[in-house]
Amino acid sequence: MKFFVDTADVAEIADLAAAGLVDGVTTNPSLVHRAGRNMLEVVAEIAAAVAGPVSAEVVATDAEGMLREADVLRAIAPNVCIKVPLTAEGLKACRRLSGEGTKVNVTLCFSAVQALLAARAGASFVSPFVGRHDDVGFDGMALIRDIRRIYNNYGFGTEILVASVRHPVHVLDAALIGADVATVPPAVLRQLLRHPLTDRGLEAFLADWAKTGQTIG
């Protein structure tokens, strides 16, 4: 499973990328707002920092407006992926963009049939929101299982990009189900590295090494 980092914080992305943990990046208007910076500048910096897809979201609600904004966004860098909402207008834009060879991430997916429609429109990625699904009393991972089965049934090439990831168990479950990508906030991505036994083991090794009085190099 690939890891995308869900942030508009360029420093965070660079730090995680140095550890080989970043296959791509997802952004959205809320993340850009939190960063307090110009969206186009942020997307350009992120696209230069990572080799993989960088999702940049349109804010128009009609297909023609989405396409105009997509022209601006995809001109920033070749690895920019256009993010559109899972609406009828969004699918119209997706169909046009994907037909032109542009990667499209169809976002705000909350049902398996919505994911089916996104795949039929030629989406490169579909983003089901598992955390938000859980918040309203549904099982976010059941949604991922259903989408995986439908895509396998018909051989769709659309990648399942698990979004709204809240904790490491979401990542584990997504990997077990066979999701293609998880887009993860930096804090959760760092949590994946941690285990108390790793910390204790390292402390013991370092304590024993100190007793040897040796150095390396």
Catalytic residues: 83
DSSP state of 127: E
Cα angle: 2, vertex 66, 23; to 5 degrees: 15
Residue type, 8: A
Q: Look up residue 141 and give its two tokens.
A: 């991972």
The angle, 0 to 180 degrees and rounded to 10, between the axes of the packed helices 88-99 and 112-120 is 30
> Which helix (DSSP H) or strand (DSSP E) does residue 216 occupy?
none
- Cα–Cα distances in angstroms (integers) from residue 123 to residues 12, 48, 141, in the given order: 28, 24, 21
